[in-house]
Amino acid sequence: MKQIFSFLVMLALTGMVAAQTPTKPVMTFENVVHDFGSIAEDGGNVTYTFQFKNEGATPLVIHNVQASCGCTTPEWTKTPVAPNARGTVKVTFNPTNRPGNFNKTITVTSNAQAPNLVLRITGNVTPRKRTLEDDYPTLFDSLRLSDSHVAMTKMTPVETKVVDIKCINISSKPLTPEFINVPSHIRMTVSPATVQPGQTAVITTTYDASMKNDWGFVTDQIYVIFDGVRNYKNRLTVSATIEENFSNLTEAELAEAPVIEFDDKVFDFGTIPTTQKVEHDYVVTNKGKNDLIIRKVKASCGCTAVKPAKTVLKSGESTEVHVTFDPRGKNGRQSKTVTVISNDPKASNVMLRIQGTVQNVDSSTLK
């Protein structure tokens, strides 16, 4: 009887031990957070290796390791990790152009009992000393500029804006920048007019939207020349987004405003050969009370031509925006946009889309 009892006790204990032994792999890291402390931005990459052990009863396989940022590169043990064996997840962090505190996560996906584990690296990147090229990245011959894009951002059609960009003469002789291809709505000046060697100056751009007489996102290209010599690489881009300001309209004025409405905003022409042009009419209707004025219709690509039949619509009146798409030189899936700018305060910019697939066709099949 005692022997039977002892056997039953041993059997129960064996069952308890078996029940406590995980049937899946168990990934246990020595630590899941590493602090790099303070590292230099120009000191190169830093690396830390996380160590783990498989405390389960079956081999552990890491399926993937995904970092939260492209600045962090993981490497890991690619072969199965046997029970009681160890593996690693090595993490490399690139501090270049990332001054300040950082906190990055690395997600480890495996066949373990907990299939997703998150590791973390932290630290602080001390910024490197800025160079002349950092502050003046654009080079026009011997004149370095802080930017080659003069962005006016949003403007009303009656607004005038002024934007400055800095420059420095890196040559051993004086430079006198001049500007060509300057339209009437833009004025360009340099102060001082002649920039001595090593001296900084300011290029001032004055933009008069009322003289531009355009709508939406618009750009102009202006060239900087020295001693009368034109270098096509020395090009400044001046941009602005010219929009009406409806923020001061009262509720009563909004109730009387025009309302733009389209029968559809997307036209899919299906599949066509490169020899077949596509034409489509988007029907636009004024659902408001006051006149709807179509300020501008602009396509995103030169392959798409647009033409509104009428630009001023009375209440309830409709017209068409005729769109022609030329597929020559195109192949595969196409998606072009047409922007309609109007005086509807709630939808002053409406984007239409024309899309489909263009297939190259052998000319011999067309005979």
Is residue 162 included in any domain, yes or no? Answer: yes
SS3 167: strand
Quick one: 83 and 116 in the same domain?
yes
Quick one: 319 and 269 in the same domain?
yes
Report the C-alpha gap between 161 and 164 in whole angstroms. 10
User: For residue 358, which amino acid is it?
Assistant: V
| The total number of structural domains that make up the chain | 3
Residue at which a domain ends, from 184, 210, 242: 242
Is residue 16 included in any domain, yes or no? Answer: no
Which range marks the domain in which residue 39 is found?
A: 22-126
C-alpha separations of 292 from 26, 183, 197, 286, 350 in Å: 68, 30, 56, 6, 14
Quick one: 233 and 296 in the same domain?
no
Along the 367 residues of the chain, how does pLDDT read in single tens digits? Answer: 555 555 444 555 444 444 455 589 999 999 999 999 999 999 999 999 999 999 999 999 999 999 998 889 999 999 999 999 999 999 999 999 999 999 999 999 999 999 999 999 999 999 999 899 999 999 999 999 999 999 999 999 999 999 999 999 999 999 999 999 999 999 999 999 999 999 999 999 999 999 999 999 999 999 999 998 889 899 999 999 999 999 999 999 999 999 999 999 999 999 999 999 999 999 999 999 999 999 999 998 887 878 788 999 999 999 999 999 999 989 999 999 999 999 999 999 999 999 999 998 654 344 4
SS3 55: coil
Quick one: 214 and 137 in the same domain?
yes
User: What pLDDT does 20 receive?
Assistant: 53
Q: Which helix (H) or strand (E) holds 171?
A: none
Is residue 92 included in any domain, yes or no? Answer: yes
Quick one: 116 and 31 in the same domain?
yes
Q: What's the order of all strands across the beta sheet hosting 160-169?
A: 138-140, 143-145, 160-169, 200-208, 186-191
Is residue 11 included in any domain, yes or no? Answer: no
Residue at which a domain ends, from 62, 94, 126: 126
Strand partners, 304: 325
Residue with tokens 């179509």: 294
Report the C-alpha gap between 72 and 95 in whole angstroms. 9
Quick one: 231 and 293 in the same domain?
no
Quick one: 97 and 27 in the same domain?
yes
Is residue 6 included in any domain, yes or no? Answer: no
Residue at which a domain ends, from 100, 126, 152: 126
Is residue 217 included in any domain, yes or no? Answer: yes
Look up residue 227 and give its two tokens: 């001693």
End-to-end CA distance of the chain: 101
Instruction: Tell me, letter by letter, the H, E, C secondary structure of 279-323.
Output: EEEEEEEECCCCCEEEEEEEECCCCEEEEECCCEECCCCEEEEEE
Residues 125, 95 contacting (CB under 8 angstroms): yes
Residue 14 has what DSSP assignment? Answer: H
C-alpha separations of 68 from 77, 94, 328 in Å: 19, 13, 42
Quick one: 237 and 147 in the same domain?
yes
Number of Cβ within a 10 Å radius of residue 355 = 15
Report the C-alpha gap between 230 and 200 in whole angstroms. 22
Closest of 70, 75, 130, 78 to residue 99, by C-alpha = 130
Quick one: 32 and 90 in the same domain?
yes
Residues 223, 181 contacting (CB under 8 angstroms): yes
User: What pLDDT does 367 receive?
Assistant: 42
* Residue 270, domain CATH: 2.60.40.10
Report the C-alpha gap between 163 and 36 in whole angstroms. 42
